[in-house]
Structure 1
Amino acid sequence: AAQFRDLSFEEFKNEVASVQSSPQVRNFDDVVSRASSVFDALAPSTLYYVSDLQSKTSTPRESSADSLLSIYIVPVQSGIESNIYIDSCWFNSPSRLSLQPDELNVRVRNAGGKNIENLSVKLTLNGVQRSVGTTNISAKSFEDVVLNFTNATNGLQLAEVSIQDYPITYDDHYYLSFNLANAINILSVNGQSASNAAAKLYDSESNFTVTQVSDGALDYSVLSTTDLVVLNEVSNFSSGMIQELMKFISSGGSLLFIPAEKPDLNSTNELLLAMGAEKLANADSSKLNVEGVNLKSKVFKNVFTQWEDRIDLPSVNKHFSTETRTTASSERLLTLGNGGSLLSSYRKDKGNCYVLSAPLRDNWTNFHRHALFVPAFYNIALNSVTNGISSEVIGSDELILISSRLENSETLEISNSENNGSFIPERVARAEGNGVFVHNQIKTDGHYLLQSEKGDTLQPLSFNFNRAESDMNFLTAEEFAQIARDLGIPNFEIVEGDTESLADKVQELHDGKQLWRLFLVLALLCLLFETVLIRIL
């Protein structure tokens, strides 16, 4: 019951009978803090904490109890010592494309004391089973299972990963969802007589839709449907163009900058500074080799099956030197022998920026003819699309970002097709973007849809029960007491026993030790002794 008022015994029994299970997870400190805030701060109060003392939720972390609050810990046996559950799921790549092979990583934990063999892990996508894997898991351990599948056609993708375990079943399902695009939209803005190396590569891939325009004919309205903008040897940038490009980047777009041979450094550096990138200086005619590849970056991760020290790498005949301006959001992807960079990446708001220090021309570099060119530019394009994978935890009440562009006044709705339930979430605007809070209105795990006022589906939302109570590690009463003493928690006592003795102990704690029977017997004995003395005397 969420209310706090004095109850008669009958009212109390009715309230207890009406209590239902909840997806909310409250740890010991939360309960004590809540009790302290509800009770009269100036009056002695009593809290009975009835729990199986599961370690993740019942371990005290801080001494927040009031000295006037007496805490009685009543341990109960859970009766369950084993549990297998799906801990988490993730993709290695942020982008998904329709009709392309993919793999989903699933972490499954065995919280019990026995080894598990041949556990089946299933993936269902839009109601159709798409992949099955099996795994063996040692006691008190976990295994990561890779489920291979082919993405369906474009649109909403509602995924469910499941196992079979008993008797705890709430954590046997894991829900996630995302939007799937047919292709990645690439806009190549070309300067006069620009090289076509980048556009030629992208145009050869069926996963990419490439539009080419000259820098003087750019229609800014197309940026809203573009994933990656390639600034291909544009020599001059107007303030209006810079402003529109920054809006595009800030809203989550990606930009690839390829310098012109003879750029206007003032306007070019104005754009680069706005992007958070290093400014271009004069051209350096030193012939240099690339001597470092950032294998941890998203662009080159998994490109090499095995790295060799003498591997052939791109070179430059000349390049633009830069004014060093290293920031926390910058990465050097291809480092030259003089410490400069051939290719760098920068994170700006919600978008990504990539900067080359040389045009893709033979008299400048051989990068566009090197084997690294294809995976580098391919991965830049792939990483320009984030499919907005949704996998929320019920009760966490964290901000859920909205990927669609919306009017500030538009009212949104979250609905569940399974039970036809719906509610209006709170809309907020933050630095990281527009989003919603659900404020504990989600009670059941599964798939939900975020919809506009017109009823259009903006994006799928998937919710999972909190896994905090899935772990089967428990504290003993002695372990709990020791932790509480170490933290200096005042006025706590462990109350143990079977159901009948517990009732007597609780009654005794409430009323004090009842000694009237003893005093009555003593009084009768005294009277008897007095009578005997009188007769003797």
Structure 2
Amino acid sequence: MQFLYPSFLWALAALAIPIIIHLFYFRRFKKVAFSNVRFLREVKEETSMRSRLRNLLVLLMRCLALAALVFAFAQPFLPSDREVLKGRKAVSVYVDNSFSMEAKSSVASLRQIAADRARDIINAYGVEDRFQVVDNDFSGRNQRLVGQEEALQLVEAIVGSPASRRLSVVNARQRSALNTEQIDNRITYLVSDFQRNVVDLTAERLDTNVAVNLVPLRAVRERNVAIDSVWFEAPVPQLNQNNLLLVRVRNYGTEDLDNVRLTLNYGGQNKPEGTLKVRAGEYVVDSVYLNITTPGVGRATLAIKDFPVNFDDTYYVTFRTADKVRVLSIDDDGTPIRNLRAALGGLSVFAPTYVSGRNIDYGSVGEYDLVVLSEQPSIGSGLAEQLRQYVENGGNVLVFPPKVADVDSYNTFLSRVGAGSLQPFDEKQREVSRLNAEEFIFRDVFRNRAASLRLPVTQGNFPVGRSGRQEVLLTYRDGSAALAKYPLGEGNVYLSSSPLDGDVSNLALNAEVFIPMLYKMGISSGRRRPVAYTIGRDEVIQTNRRSASAELVYKLRGPGGEFIPEQRVVDNRVLIGLGGQVPEAGVYDLLLGDEAVDAFAFNYDRAESDLTYLDEAELERLADIPNVELLNAANQATLIGDIRERNEGTPLWRYFIWAALAFFLVEVLLLRFWRA
């Protein structure tokens, strides 16, 4: 047996007090008239012996009771296999409040049980110890050590959070807080369901000077179905068409499901989209048609029903459709070919601007969806660099080299954008024999692909060299490219091997090919607008720059409230930094002053959807890491007793308190019922 506070044993000297009292206690005698004294000596001897025995027993009880109290205050214990921690302790308790903790145990949700176990851990220590309570939010108030009472209040304040942290990151956060005060005994607790996708604890990532205790919780059933992701089949949704929206639904459980109902909310109306069958551990991709009739920003919501984990049952999406394609036509004198002007000016879907190559406002180029370069004899280095930056930032450039083009200047530009080079002009009639209907530019343009299309014919062209990123859209009979696409950055360069002049090519006269080609090139930016962003993962979003006075700033407003994000203007875009300010999933409007200029959808991270936990064997292997212990969280009394045994050994002070009370009781009984 050992003592936590052996200095209290000096109090055993107080045992002399009852002994001294006993030795110097002289009882007064009374004179009693007695008629017959013949048996007086015998009675006196017998009474004196019994009285002496009783007094000795009372003295013994008092000494034993006092000694038991001294031992109790000295905190005796039976040492365990590990060294007992003596003195003050700094304790950090991590409570996993991620969405996976919504799963149910046999009695309550895992999050509620985690809070109960955190309170048990804190109460198992003394009031002089210091505590940190940390959850996945990593808020500033949780980065300091507090007293026991305040730590219990912090546990009460924990609510569910969309954040998900790897355990190595959590442990590093704990160690940082424990180092804020000079306390030698540093202990951490991880109260979690220990999902596989967050457990990354290794000996190299832990500090051997800090004890790590694992407190695993278990759900009754590992079942969850989630909408994993949503995306449009086409690069951009189109106005007045049935746009195909693809939805991936994943079954994270171990049971096959055949009655997962999918619904779509669009335009304020809920529409059932059918019932899905999803096998255990697999996913299905379902298709939903979205008929967009209103230009601008649209929003839709897809949902399923699942219990008890339901944070991932809803997926919000936003999209933008333009009613007009803004086209900048650049040529030698600002007067484009008649057929090009007729195509751009004759249809309401285009908003054209015509400039000459010498009068270009480079600062406004980024405002256009498509730049058409035609009848431009050469491309200067300044224009070439501006077009390259424009394409990299998501623009689209369509190049028609004229018959008298300076091939060297064109090839210099084409090499900058990674396109194929032009060979000298070849005056030879060629016919386009194939149209690439699988590529976005011509996909879904013609109702009957087998029908005979009147494809362009050219009287001469610049043979185009092959490039690794080349995608041919129109092909001559000899297999060479008549029109090719080259992606660069977030945009695209489209290169025609023949001029647009009607004397050389009849492409501009072929409206059934030329008009949809121009329109879809204008909306085919490689910078695909995401239909949604992930809370906590996508911290920077972008929108097109809007002209505004210096006093106006962008604001985001949605289900989680209204806030002013960080904002930075780069070229023709505004980069908006979220900084973890989006707390709740939903659609947030981007406001410039009081005007809503854009909208973005935010969804919770699906990392918490996978309810796959470490099994017992894997947890035991984690416990093999030095200074890592595995605790049993199933029983409250067992957990508290285990913690106290690890910190104090097997405490015996309670037994000495009960012994002291028993000795006092025996003393009272002796004095009450044993008459001398």
TM-score normalised over the length of structure 2: 0.65
Aligned match of 1:177: 318
Aligned match of 2:565: 425
1:446 Cα deviation after fit? 0.7
1:147 Cα deviation after fit? 0.7
Q: How do residues 438-449 of structure 1 correspond to structure 2 at under 5 angstroms?
A: 438-449=578-589
1:380 aligns with 2:516: no
Aligned match of 1:501: 638
Cα distance in 2 for partners of 1:22, 1:477 equals 27
* Equivalent residues of 2:372, 2:398 under 8 A apart: yes
Alpha-carbon distance change, 405 to 265 in structure 1, aligned in 2, over 3 angstroms: farther
Q: How many residues align?
A: 510
Q: Greater helix share, 1 or 2? A: 2
Aligned match of 2:309: 168
1:226 Cα deviation after fit? 2.7
Aligned match of 1:4: 143
* Equivalent residues of 1:322, 1:340 under 8 A apart: yes
What whole-Å deviation, never above 9, does each CA across 1:348-397 have from its counterpart, x for those lacking one?
A: 45432211222246875677769976765554233149673441111225
Cα distance in 1 for partners of 2:294, 2:433 equals 41
Q: Greater strand share, 1 or 2? A: 1
Aligned match of 2:368: 226
What amino acid maps onto 1:144 in structure 2?
Answer: V
Q: 2:613 aligns with which of 474, 493, 496?
A: 474
What whole-Å deviation, never above 9, does each CA across 1:82-118 have from its counterpart, x for those lacking one?
A: 1111111101122223322212111111122222223
Cα distance in 1 for partners of 2:200, 2:447 equals 45
What whole-Å deviation, never above 9, does each CA across 1:431-485 have from its counterpart, x for those lacking one?
A: 9954122112111111111222x33323212111111111121111321333675
Cα distance in 2 for partners of 1:386, 1:133 equals 32
Gaps of 5+ in 1: 521-537
Aligned match of 1:344: 484
What whole-Å deviation, never above 9, does each CA across 1:106-160 have from its counterpart, x for those lacking one?
A: 1111122222223221221243336623321112211111111210312221221
Helix, strand or coil at the partner of 2:639: helix
Cα distance in 2 for partners of 1:370, 1:205 equals 12
Cα distance in 2 for partners of 1:124, 1:367 equals 42
* Equivalent residues of 2:357, 2:376 under 8 A apart: no
1:499 Cα deviation after fit? 2.0
Aligned match of 1:63: 204
1:412 Cα deviation after fit? 3.1
Alpha-carbon distance change, 482 to 406 in structure 1, aligned in 2, over 3 angstroms: farther
* Equivalent residues of 2:144, 2:177 under 8 A apart: no
Q: Which has the larger radius of gyration?
A: 2
* Equivalent residues of 1:281, 1:322 under 8 A apart: yes
Q: How do residues 289-304 of structure 1 correspond to structure 2 at under 5 angstroms?
A: 298-299=440-441
Cα distance in 1 for partners of 2:172, 2:438 equals 43
Deviates more, 1:236-245 or 1:40-49: 236-245
Q: 2:246 aligns with which of 105, 118, 121?
A: 105
1:299 Cα deviation after fit? 3.9
Helix, strand or coil at the partner of 2:294: coil
Helix, strand or coil at the partner of 1:7: coil
Aligned match of 2:155: 16
What amino acid maps onto 2:626 in structure 1?
Answer: P
What amino acid maps onto 1:422 in structure 2?
Answer: E
* Equivalent residues of 1:397, 1:439 under 8 A apart: no
* Equivalent residues of 2:492, 2:526 under 8 A apart: no
Cα distance in 1 for partners of 2:651, 2:432 equals 87
* Equivalent residues of 2:224, 2:306 under 8 A apart: yes
TM-score normalised over the length of structure 1: 0.79
Alpha-carbon distance change, 336 to 69 in structure 1, aligned in 2, over 3 angstroms: farther
Alpha-carbon distance change, 59 to 198 in structure 1, aligned in 2, over 3 angstroms: farther
* Equivalent residues of 2:485, 2:492 under 8 A apart: yes
Alpha-carbon distance change, 408 to 500 in structure 1, aligned in 2, over 3 angstroms: farther
Helix, strand or coil at the partner of 1:468: helix
Q: How do residues 109-120 of structure 1 correspond to structure 2 at under 5 angstroms?
A: 109-120=250-261
Aligned match of 2:626: 490
1:253 Cα deviation after fit? 2.5
Q: How do residues 46-195 of structure 1 correspond to structure 2 at under 5 angstroms?
A: 46-60=187-201, 63-129=204-270, 132-190=273-331
What amino acid maps onto 1:78 in structure 2?
Answer: A
Helix, strand or coil at the partner of 1:19: coil
